[in-house]
Each structure stands twice: as structure tokens, then as C-alpha cells.
Amino acid sequence: MSRTIRLKITRTDTWYPEYEVPDHVEDEDIYEHLFNECPASVFDEMCNKNTLETETTMVGVFLDEILEEMA
């Protein structure tokens, strides 16, 4: 007899794009400058896939056990 399992899959993506900021931009203004001036590709993980790190975690939960707990 077969049984159904439910999986919980969590994926965390981290990437490290580099973007050249003009010298006149002060440290405290860098984030504002980035969000207002840089191209969307800086925030796109596939445009920065050479620095992309992906961590996937999978946890199996037996549906039979969940149904038994609910009964």
C-alpha cells in the first residue's frame, strides 16, 4: 500500500552583485543612490548568477501522520 507525503521546500537565494558608485555619493546615501539610479539587472539574481548561492532545505511530513493528529 502506498502513502502520500507532503514536502516543505524552502529555498534561500543570495547573490553578490557589484555596481560602481560615483565618488561624490556619500556612504549614507549609497542605498538611496542604488535604488534610484542603478539598473534593475543589479537586483536580478539571473543577471548575477555567477555569484548566486542557493540553499534548499526539504523536510518530509507524512500526510498519514498529519491526518491521524487531526482525527
Residue 25 neighbours by CB under 8 Å, 6+ apart: 33
pLDDT at residue 1 greater than cutoff 90: no
CA–CA dist 56, 19 (Å, integer): 27
pLDDT at 48: 87
Contact by Cβ (8 Å): 6, 65? no
**For 13-57, how does the pLDDT look when each residue is reduced to its tens digit (9 = 90+)?**
898 988 899 999 999 999 899 889 889 888 888 888 899 898 888
Identify the sign of the CA torsion 25, 29, 33, 36: negative
* Single-letter amino acid code for the residue at 71: A
pLDDT at 28: 93
Give the start-to-end residue ranges of the domains of the chain.
5-70
CA–CA dist 71, 63 (Å, integer): 12
